[in-house]
């Protein structure tokens, strides 16, 4: 490992960091614009063309705003919570591959923060650490609305993490049949979704269907998507910050840049969850690159483009759901989680296992 | 060198967390101290290339268990006038003796110099079989019986918890009482 390798590692981390910040700036604006369109409004249109610089202006404002610290807060925990929200949000994306490995001067550079052997578990670990930020913020604010928001966040996170984990297990088990042994590495999961279902099953007529996990694991995809919306505390599962009942929920007592950090973390989490859904179900960066017929630079950049296109397709679903669905009641949220999603995920897991077993080992009576 | 620096930082953090657990007046602070300790241990596991163990540590202990702790503390709240009298006789003397014994062993080891620093994996060490695979292989072949028995034990514990919450003195509790 020489200096250049080290430089490449640093560059990969910095690029992911920058990507997340830029994407967040765009997403906040995009959400406001799209929700405005759906509700027959104009939305932000003052700063820059189409109001695209609106988020930047808002961010600057938050930077220079006075930071109000209520008298009853638990100061240490209160100051720590915003950081604890942002750091896991940034770290989670580090294991997501966002492009095909490129070759620069004889060195293969994977376009990914780092390829961990335990990639999927790392994602689950970081998302469970992220809950702490909400809980700590809610508790340390020393007022009742944030506390209620914090308690709700804990219950919601515990409930929906189980469903999300189970849907991931189905994907991991399916992926194990597509190659040599099981894997939790996201780069490997993407690599095993290359090609088409026609080639994989030996049916030429299906050659146009890409070999994404989406098709065999459709139910798991649905469960994952619902759980992802709940995990990111987005409408219709945004009980954590339900304005009508909890003022602002866990971040009621935060202002200025500290509030901005919670906001940033939420939008980074939306992008990361969409990117993970893309990686697990939509084939990640896989897509036609027209190798040889287009310049090499184009076919090196195209996978990243495909990745972003797929991720944004899922993000648009997030926005669409937010603009369309009313918020669930708290007991409905718990019932959906424990009585529908988790049993559903279990049934799907068992069905999926039986099919995989039969495909691998044949019928038990033959 | 990097390893030593990481070790010192995480070890100090783990100890600080442990001290917080015992000395903090506020139970929420204690819970957070425990979280700090568990997370620091996870970092030490990562330094030693035990990625799977680190991930499990964070998901199960730092994640699920601690969230549950905090949830209970916040929801039920803690009475400020807590009963702090000790029920174990001669607890403090016992702790002092045992602590001194452990400390003596550590000092003896350092003085005699009969230990080796085992360098943990650096950035360029290849993981031979992948950590998850390396753990899964013996777990599901050699130790399958122990694994299944543990699974059974956990199922019984879960069923017991539900039974305790649902049945009370031979009566089935009314729904939404």
Judge if B51 and B69 occupy the same domain: yes
In the prediction, which pLDDT does B101 show? 94
Q: Quickly list DSSP for A246-307.
A: HTTGGGTT--HHHHHHHHHHHHHHHHHHHHHHHHHHS-TT-S---BTTB-HHHHHHHHHHHH
Q: Are the C-beta atoms of A342 and A163 separated by less than 8 Å?
A: yes
> Which helix (DSSP H) or strand (DSSP E) does residue B6 occupy?
helix B2-23
In the prediction, which pLDDT does B149 show? 94
Q: How many beta-carbon pairs below 8 A join chains A and B?
A: 81
Judge if B114 and B163 occupy the same domain: no
In a domain, B17, yes or no: yes
In a domain, B45, yes or no: yes
Q: A132, B67: Cβ pair inside 8 Å?
A: yes
On chain A, the residues whose CB falls within 8 A of the CB of B74 are 135, 139, 147, 150-151, 154
Domain count within chain B: 2
Judge if B38 and B116 occupy the same domain: yes
Antiparallel, parallel or unpaired: β B167-168 and B171-172: antiparallel
Judge if B72 and B155 occupy the same domain: no
Judge if B110 and B176 occupy the same domain: no
- The closest CB to that of B59, out of A116, A125, A157, belongs to A125
In the prediction, which pLDDT does B171 show? 58
| Cis peptide, bond prior to residue A236, ω within 30 of zero | yes
Query: Where are the domains positioned within chain A?
Result: 67-361
Note the pTM of the prediction, 2 decimals. Answer: 0.84
Judge if B111 and B164 occupy the same domain: no
In the prediction, which pLDDT does A112 show? 81
In a domain, B159, yes or no: yes
On chain A, the residues whose CB falls within 8 A of the CB of B131 are 117-118
In a domain, B97, yes or no: no
| Owning domain of residue B43 | 1-78+106-121
Residues of chain A with pLDDT under 70: 1, 242
In the prediction, which pLDDT does B177 show? 45
Judge if B71 and B111 occupy the same domain: yes
Alpha helices, DSSP H, located in A39-183: 54-64, 75-92, 119-140, 144-177
In a domain, B68, yes or no: yes
Full pLDDT tens readout for chain B, 177 residues: 777 888 889 999 999 999 998 888 777 788 888 888 988 998 888 887 778 888 888 888 877 777 777 777 776 765 555 666 667 778 888 889 999 999 999 888 888 877 666 655 555 555 555 578 778 888 888 889 999 999 999 999 989 988 888 776 655 555 554
Q: Facing residues of A111 across strands?
A: A99
Judge if B114 and B41 occupy the same domain: yes
Judge if B63 and B139 occupy the same domain: no
In a domain, B65, yes or no: yes
On chain A, the residues whose CB falls within 8 A of the CB of B51 are 116-118
Q: Quickly list DSSP for B135-158.
A: HHHHHHTTTHHHHHHHHHHHHHHH
Judge if B117 and B39 occupy the same domain: yes
In a domain, B50, yes or no: yes
Judge if B114 and B167 occupy the same domain: no
Q: Are the C-beta atoms of A138 and A250 separated by less than 8 Å?
A: yes
Judge if B142 and B72 occupy the same domain: no
Rounded Cα distance, B57 and B64, in Å: 10
Residue A162 contacts B where some CB pair is shorter than 8 Å: no
Nearest Cα to Cα of residue A158 among B71, B151, B77, B162: B71
């Amino acid at each position: 490992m020489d200096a250049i390798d080290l430089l490449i590692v640093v560059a990969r981390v910095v690029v992911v960091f920058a990507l997340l910040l830029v994407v967040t700036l765009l997403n906040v604006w995009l959400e406001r614009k799209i929700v405005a369109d759906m509700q027959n409004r104009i939305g932000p249109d003052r700063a820059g063309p189409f109001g695209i610089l609106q988020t930047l202006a808002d961010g600057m404002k938050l930077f220079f705003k006075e930071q109000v610290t209520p008298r009853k807060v638990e100061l240490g925990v209160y100051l720590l919570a915003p950081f604890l929200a942002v750091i896991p949000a940034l770290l989670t994306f580090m294991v997501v591959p966002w492009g095909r490995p490129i070759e620069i001067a004889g060195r293969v550079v994977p376009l990914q923060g780092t390829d961990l052997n335990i990639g999927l578990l790392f994602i689950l670990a970081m998302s469970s650490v992220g809950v702490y930020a909400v809980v700590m913020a809610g508790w340390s604010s020393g007022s009742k609305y944030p506390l209620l928001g914090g308690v709700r966040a804990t219950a919601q996170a515990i409930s929906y993490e189980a469903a999300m984990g189970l849907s991931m297990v189905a994907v991991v088990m399916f992926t194990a049949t597509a190659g040599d042994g099981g894997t939790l590495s996201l780069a490997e999961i993407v690599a095993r979704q290359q090609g088409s279902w026609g080639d994989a099953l030996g049916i030429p007529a299906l050659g146009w269907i890409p070999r994404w996990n989406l098709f065999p694991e459709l139910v798991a995809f649905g469960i994952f998507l619902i759980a992802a919306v709940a995990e990111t505390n987005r409408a219709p599962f945004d009980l954590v910050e339900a304005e009508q009942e909890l003022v602002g929920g866990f971040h009621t007592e935060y202002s200025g840049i500290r509030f901005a950090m919670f906001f940033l973390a939420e939008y980074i989490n939306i992008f990361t969850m969409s990117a993970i859904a893309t990686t697990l179900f939509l084939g990640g960066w896989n897509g036609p690159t027209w190798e040889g017929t287009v310049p090499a630079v184009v076919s090196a950049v195209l996978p990243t483009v495909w990745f972003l296109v797929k991720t944004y397709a899922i993000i648009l679903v997030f926005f669409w759901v937010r603009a369309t669905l009313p918020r669930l009641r708290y007991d409905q949220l718990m019932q959906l989680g424990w009585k529908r999603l988790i049993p559903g995920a279990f049934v799907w897991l068992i069905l999926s296992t039986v099919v995989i077993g039969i495909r691998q080992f044949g019928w038990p009576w033959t | 060198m990097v390893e030593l620096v990481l070790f010192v930082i995480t070890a100090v953090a783990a100890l600080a967390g442990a001290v917080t657990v015992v000395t903090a007046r506020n139970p929420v602070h204690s819970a957070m101290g425990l979280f700090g300790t568990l997370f620091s241990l996870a970092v030490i596991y990562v330094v030693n290339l035990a990625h799977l163990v680190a991930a499990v540590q964070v998901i199960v202990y730092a994640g699920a268990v601690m969230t549950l702790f905090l949830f209970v503390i916040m929801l039920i709240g803690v009475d400020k006038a807590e009963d702090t009298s000790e029920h174990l006789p001669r607890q403090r003397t016992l702790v002092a003796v045992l602590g001194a014994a452990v400390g003596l062993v550590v000092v003896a080891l350092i003085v005699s110099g009969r230990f080796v620093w085992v360098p943990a994996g650096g950035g360029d060490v290849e993981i031979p079989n992948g950590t998850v695979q390396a753990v899964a292989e013996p777990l599901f072949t050699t130790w399958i019986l122990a694994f299944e028995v543990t699974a059974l034990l956990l199922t019984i514990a879960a069923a017991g918890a539900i039974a305790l919450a649902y049945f009370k003195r031979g009566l089935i509790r009314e729904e939404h009482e």
